A and B are shown apart, each in its own frame.
Chain A
Amino acid sequence: MNRFDYEKRLKSIFGIDHFYNEQWEAVQRILNGERILMIQRTGFGKSLCYQFPATQFEGITVIFSPLIALMRDQVKALNGKGISARYINSEQSVEENSAAIQDALDGKVKILYIAPERQENSEWIEATRKMNLSMVVIDEAHTISVWGHDFRPAFRRIINLVKLLPQSLPVLATTATATKRVQQDIEHQIGGRLTTIRGQLVRDNFNLYVIKVHSEDEKLVWLAQNLNRIEGTGLIYTGTRVNTEVYAKWLVYNGINAINYNAGHDADTRKDVENGLMQNRYKCVVSTNALGMGIDKPDIRFIIHTQIPASPIHYYQEIGRAGRDGKPTTIILFYNEQKDENGIEEDYELPKAFIDGARPSKEKYLKAIEALKQEPLGEKGLMKATNLKQTQIRVIKADLIDQGIAKEVVNGKSKVLEYQFGARELDTQSFEDLRIAKLKDLDAMVGYVNTTKPRMQYLCEFLDDDNNVNYSNCDNTNLNKLTVTVTGFWRDKLSDFRESYFPVLDVESRNSNIVNGVAASYYGVSNVGNALHRSKYENGGDFPDFLLRLTLKAFHKTFDNARFDWVLYVPPTHSGDLVKNFAAKFASAIKVPISHKLVKVRQTSEQKVYQNGWLKQDNVKDAFSYLSPEEVNGKRILLLDDIFDSGATMKEIGKLLTTMGAETIVPIAIAKTVGGDI
């Protein structure tokens, strides 16, 4: 069989006449049983390089991919062409995943996509012992390198697997973004006879802009003024989940059809937003970088970042999702270069803090190791034993596994971490090396903001793509610089917006009559947090009146037509009447009687002492009582507190009042913290 013969098959199966030369090179080598790393830009047609060979092999091709949306799209497209494909991921029900596995075992599937995290699933593991495997593909292979962006610990197991696969089994690793260093790391990790095919990375249909600003307000205003002037549908990437909400609400407030999306949303919501994006139902989706990787939408017309990504490689990857149809596409990056009191630029702070705080302190690692030396522990057990946050425990867990200090063992249905005999000491030097490397990458990203070179050239050079191309598609070459002016009109509009937008307190659960409530503000987003802190911890006296005014506004906006029988407030941990006094003023303002009969029956610690939800829950469990329980029956109750964090306290009181017959309990807080742990 030669190229001509295979292209005849290509035509009949995929309806495509020819391979590009670079595609054919890869296909030929895969058919030959080789191992290949392919670095090609988005839109090159990497998928065909494994999908076609997969149709030629006798057995099944397994594709490990972190991109759930991509799986869905590709499986649909393949089945449409009569190529039997399935996927296994967290988005499907257990039954659906089981059915996909069974089909694969029965030889009914040519191509099977699977999320790397599924490698842990016992049903899948069982199936792998019997499946007729012909090829393994690692999609988004840069995620196997800690030097790459977006490193995923679950991929470690895939690498170990690939190393153990028989030498004659073809393996293809693909990525659109890899520096030489990441390339070498992947080559080293996969090892064996891996060879690399590297293509050109330039995207010449991009119009690249950087907008330097001096406040967050300027970003919001520019978007409100200009977004509808940009053609088509696109994405706005914000640095945090909270900001996806804030930006989307602000755009909607300005009559722009926006919606927010982040990893905190449930699968149905995410799918709905993804579908909406595909169908151009929105002008834009405001998202963390959880959205877009692998979305097979060729006509994303713009991508705007309100925060700098962690490195030029992140940036190239994230903007790479736009303009796959080759038509002109607008790419904008905001950068707030206002300096704080320490002379650090505002937009440098968040990503830097993120890098500096990526790893918990050594003491925390040692605490976890000590706990594991006593007994094998699951994630929850480890959180309880160490009083560490879930996010920290996950980082520690991944590092301990990486360093061989602990291993994750399946114990019946649960997974536990076991300390390993003869484990070496914790190596913190590697953490420090990584931190310094990441800071260097971040500085290179700021370099992109400030460069006078053609911007695409800057990105390609960072990615070690040294092809000589004429770059001329940015505000450093032929395009005008974009600027922003904030007038009084816009300042007022922003302040109106801020006083009309209130965070939801999400506490509803099946066995309780507590419903979702509202807070006057996010803790860190406005001056509310500072005011609370002064009163609580700096003897600043009662909460200032503007907090009452804002809380009332939040209440009226959300519950204007509802009627209530009582105002209750959360009794304090230590003596102090701040919340009591606040509740009294609140109650009198809305003309609802206040009751002082909600009390503590045992001493609790301040919730903020506890770093995770499990311990917070334990801390407040059965800690409250109502002095005249018979009065509670049928009551509609407002429950006030100053700061809402995990929600454990509100939920506990809600449960108590429910058992006493309360009809409904509505939580109201002055501020909601950001990033409360579970």
Chain B
Amino acid sequence: MMENELTYWVALTHTPQIWTKRKNEIIVYCFNLGKTIADFFESESFLGMELKQGEYELLTQAKNELANYAFLVEELLNQGYNIIPIISGEYSPTLKANLKYNAPIVLYTKGNKQILQEKAMAIVGSRNANDTALQFTDNVAKKASLEYKVVVSGFAKGVDKQALDSALNYKGQSIIVLPQGIATFASGMKKYYKQIIEGDVLVLSVFHPKSPWAVDLAMARNSIIYGLASEIYVAQSNDKGGTWAGVCDGLKKGRKIFVRQPSNKEKCANSTLISMGATPVDIEGSTLQTTVAYDTDETLCSFVAEKAAPYGEPEQLSLSF
């Protein structure tokens, strides 16, 4: 992939109203023809691909805006951001394998891109987690770091922040997955400057670089966190919100998810998740014998799917805000 193709990649990524899945189909179409995404946009008729009427107009519009995207790409590269298209060898293979056709078209990053090639675990949980959950997070981050695994987290308060700081504290590496555009993260870049330039932190975003933080981006980001990791640890979940939706979605897709076994007194939904099929782990993150019977009841599953639906289906969200 040549750097001068980045304009086309970014244009495709941010073409509105076309789902990521469809965009990936375009990429596969080009690949099968032995053509590049630049060829796709520069050819008279989008390489003869069968497009719906609406798609044709949207892509033509994107084509007319290529020069504008060129200015954006230049600005980002000039400021040291990396733009990694899905066909690049630098793209996270784990993310691609997990999300398949729903994998984001480009990753915007800053820092050590090599981290994307390492084995990674996600630690997720509530913004207002209790002390036990934070202790658990610290323990798991320590374990990850000792095993040279990368800790993926979402840069929210509570568990996310703990996961990041613990990983760095134990000299591990970390990926921060942003709920916003990468160019709007100046304060965080400043705070983690040393870790970024020393190669211990990679900042990553899949949204338009200039998008400010937004609730729907924060939700859409969860699937990226889960997707980047090959192991998922849940410190503390409520029975709604991002963590809950993300875990439900993961379980539905058949991913193995480790959930901290809560004490009887704790008010949280960890037990529910375990009862839905998540693997219980102790405070050290070690797998426990399952004490609660698996409940694979059909009704519960459909309940889960229903409850998760507004946020749990990232493919329903176009990642081009």
Q: Write out the residue numbers on chain B whose beta carbons fall within 8 Å of the beta carbon of A191.
A: 4
- The A/B interface has a contact count, at CB < 8 Å, of 83
Of B3, B7, B66, B198, which is within 8 A of A421 by CB? B198
| B264 contacts partner chain A, Cβ-Cβ < 8 Å | no
Residues of B within 8 A of A129 (CB): 68, 71-72
Any A CB within 8 A of the CB of B33:
no
Contact B70 A161 (CB under 8 A): yes
Q: Report Cα–Cα, A408/B74, bound state, in Å.
A: 13
A412 touching B186, Cβ below 8 Å: yes
Known A421-B112, A421-B196; contact A164-B80, beta-carbon cutoff 8 A: no
Whole-angstrom distance between the Cβ of B63 and the nearest chain A Cβ: 8
Does B250 touch A at the CB level, under 8 Å? no
Which residue on A lies nearest to B112, using beta carbons?
A: A421
A160 to B3, CA, bound (A): 10
Q: Convert B295-313 into 0s and 1s, putting 1 for each residue whose CB lies closer than 8 angstroms to a CB of A.
A: 0000000000000000000
Question: Is B42 on the interface with A (CB-CB < 8 A)?
Answer: yes
* Cα-based distance from A418 to B195 in the complex (angstroms): 13
Q: Mark B67-81, 1 if CB is under 8 A from A, else 0.
A: 110111111011110
Interface size class of B (residues with CB under 8 A): 20 to 34
CB–CB A160/B78 < 8 A: yes
CB-nearest residue of chain B to A156: B78
B31 contacts the other chain (CB 8 A): no
**Residue B111 at the A interface, CB < 8 A?**
yes
Task: Across the interface, name the chain A residue whose C-beta is closest to B63.
Answer: A166
Knowing A418-B197, A421-B196 are in contact, say whether A164-B79 is a contact too (CB < 8 A): no
Residue A463 CB within 8 A of the other chain: no
Contact flags A152-170 to B (C-beta < 8 A → 1, else 0): 0000010011011111110
A128 contacts B71, CB within 8 Å?
Answer: yes
**CB of A484 within 8 Å of the partner chain:** no
CB-nearest residue of chain B relative to A412? B186
CB pair A418 B199 closer than 8 Å: no
- Bound: A418/B73 CA distance, A: 18
Check if B269 is an interface residue, CB within 8 A of chain A.
no
Q: Are A128 and B190 in contact (CB under 8 A)?
A: no
The CA-CA distance from A421 to B115 in the complex, in Å, is 12
B185-236 at interface with A (beta carbon < 8 Å): 186, 189-190, 193-194, 196-199
Contact of A166 among B66, B77, B79, B112 (CB under 8 A): B66
Chain B contacts for A374, CB-based, 8 A:
194
* Secondary structure type dominating chain B contacts: helix
B78-104, CB < 8 A from A: 78-80
Question: Cβ of B41 and Cβ of A408 under 8 Å apart?
Answer: no
Cβ–Cβ contact A418 & B186, under 8 A = no
Whether A421 pairs with B111 at a CB distance below 8 angstroms is yes
CB distance from B43 to the nearest CB of A (A): 10
Tell me the smallest distance from the CB of A76 to a CB of chain B, in Å.
Answer: 27
A618-653 interface bits toward B, Cβ cutoff 8 Å, 1 = contact, 0 = none: 000000000000000000000000000000000000
**CB atoms of B78 and A407 under 8 A apart:** yes
* B70: chain A residues within 8 A (beta carbon): 161, 164-166
- Residues of chain B within 8 A of A437, CB atoms compared: none
Kindly provide the distance from the CB of A205 to the nearest chain B CB, expressed in whole angstroms.
41
CB distance from B320 to the nearest CB of A (A): 14
Q: With A and B bound together, what is the CA distance between A375 and B190 in angstroms?
A: 8
B26 within 8 A of A: no
What 0/1 readout, one digit per residue, does chain A (265-305) give for beta carbons within 8 Å of chain B? 00000000000000000000000000000000000000000
Nearest opposing residue in chain A for B6, CB measure: A164
| Chain B residues with CB below 8 A from A407, complex form | 78-80
- Across-interface contacts of A412 in B (CB, < 8 A): 186
Residues of A within 8 A of B18 (CB): none
Q: How far is the CB of A88 from chain B (nearest CB, A)?
A: 14
A163/B4 in contact, CB under 8 A: yes
- Binary contact readout A232-275 vs B (1 if CB under 8 angstroms, 0 otherwise): 00000000000000000000000000000000000000000000
A410 interface contact, C-beta 8 A = yes
Bound together, the chains give a CA A132 to CA B67 distance in angstroms of: 8
Contact partners of A421 in chain B: CB under 8 A? 111-112, 196-199
B67 lies within 8 A of A166 (CB): yes
- Tell me which residues across on chain B come within 8 A of A422, comparing CB atoms: 112, 199
Interface centre among A130, A411, A421 (most CB of B within 10 A): A421
Task: Find out whether the CB atom of A164 lies under 8 angstroms from the CB atom of B73.
Answer: yes
Judged by a CB distance under 8 angstroms, whether B129 is at the interface is no
Bitwise, A397-421 to B at CB < 8 A (1) or not (0) is 0000000000111111000001111
Q: Do residues A133 and B186 form an inter-chain contact, with CB atoms below 8 A?
A: no
Contacts of A375 in B (CB 8 A): 193
In the complex, the chain B residue whose C-beta lies closest to that of A136 is: B67
User: In the complex where A407-B79, A409-B80 touch, is A164 in contact with B7 (Cβ < 8 A)?
Assistant: yes
Chain A 124-161, CB-CB to B under 8 Å as 1, else 0, gives 01001111110000000000000000000000010011
B251 at the interface (CB under 8 A from A): no
Bin chain A's interface residue count: 20 to 34
Chain A residues closer than 8 Å to B66, beta-carbon distance: 165-166, 169
Please judge, given known A-B contacts A130-B68, A421-B196, A422-B112, whether A161 and B186 are in contact too, CB under 8 Å: no
- Across-interface contacts of A132 in B (CB, < 8 A): 64
Q: Bound complex: CA of A418 vs CA of B192, how far in Å?
A: 12
CB distance from B184 to the nearest CB of A (A): 11
Query: Contact between A160 and B74 (Cβ–Cβ < 8 Å)?
Result: yes
Question: Residue among A167, A376, A408 with the most chain B CB within 10 A?
Answer: A167
> Chain B contacts of A411 at CB under 8 A?
186, 190
Contact B197 A419 (CB under 8 A): yes
Roughly how many angstroms separate A167 CA and B78 CA in the complex, as a whole number?
20
Q: When each residue 95-125 of chain B gets 1 if its CB lies under 8 Å from chain A and 0 otherwise, what string results?
A: 0000000000000000110000000000000
Q: Taking CB as reference atom, which chain B residue is nearest A376?
A: B193
B59 interface residue, CB < 8 Å from A?
A: no
Q: Is the CB of A164 within 8 A of B111?
A: no
* Cα–Cα distance between A489 and B189 once the two chains are bound (Å): 70
Closest partner residue, chain B, to A415 (CB atom): B79
CB neighbours (8 Å) of A164 from chain B are: 3-4, 6-7, 70, 73-74
Q: Closest residue to A133 on the B side, CB-wise? A: B67
Docked complex Cα distance between A407 and B197 (Å):
12
User: Does residue B168 face the partner (Cβ distance < 8 Å to A)?
Assistant: no
Most A-side CB within 10 Å, residue of B67, B111, B197, B198: B67
Distance in angstroms from A454 CB to nearest chain B CB is 44
A133 neighbours in B (Cβ, 8 Å)? 67-68
- Say whether A157 contacts B71, CB under 8 Å: no
Q: Closest B-chain residue to A167, C-beta based? A: B42
- Given A165-B7, A421-B199, verify A160-B77 contact (CB < 8 Å): yes
- Closest residue on chain B to residue A409 by CB atoms: B79
Contact of A192 with B4 in the complex, beta carbons under 8 Å: yes
Whether B38 is near chain A, meaning CB under 8 Å from some CB there, is yes
How long is the Cα–Cα vector from A115 to B72 in the complex, in angstroms?
18
The minimal Cβ–Cβ distance linking B305 to chain A, given in whole angstroms, is 39
Task: State whether B74 touches A157 (Cβ < 8 A).
Answer: yes
Q: In the complex, what distance in Å separates the CA atom of A53 from the CA atom of B68? A: 20
Instruction: Give Cα A152 to B302, complex, Å.
Output: 64
| C-alpha gap A500/B25 in the complex (Å) | 82
Complex CA distance for A407 and B80, rounded to whole angstroms: 6
Determine the chain B residues whose CB is within 8 A of the CB of A161 once the complex forms.
70-71, 74
Q: B79 to chain A: which residues have CB within 8 Å?
A: 407-410
The CB with the most chain B CB atoms within 10 A, among A191, A412, A420, is that of A420
**B41: chain A residues within 8 A (beta carbon):** 166
* 11 A-B pairs whose Cβ atoms sit less than 8 Å apart in the complex: A131-B68, A157-B78, A160-B78, A164-B4, A164-B7, A169-B67, A373-B197, A407-B79, A407-B80, A418-B80, A419-B197
* 16 further A-B pairs in the complex, CB-CB below 8 A; given A129-B71, A421-B196: A128-B71, A129-B72, A130-B68, A133-B68, A160-B77, A161-B71, A163-B4, A164-B73, A164-B74, A166-B41, A167-B38, A409-B79, A409-B80, A409-B189, A418-B197, A421-B198
Give the 4 A-B CB pairs with smallest separation, nearest first: A407-B80, A128-B71, A166-B66, A133-B67
Interface, chain A (partner B; CB < 8 A): 125, 128-133, 157, 160-161, 163-169, 191-192, 373-376, 407-412, 418-422
Binding site for A on B (CB under 8 A): 3-4, 6-8, 38, 41-42, 63-64, 66-68, 70-75, 77-80, 111-112, 186, 189-190, 193-194, 196-199
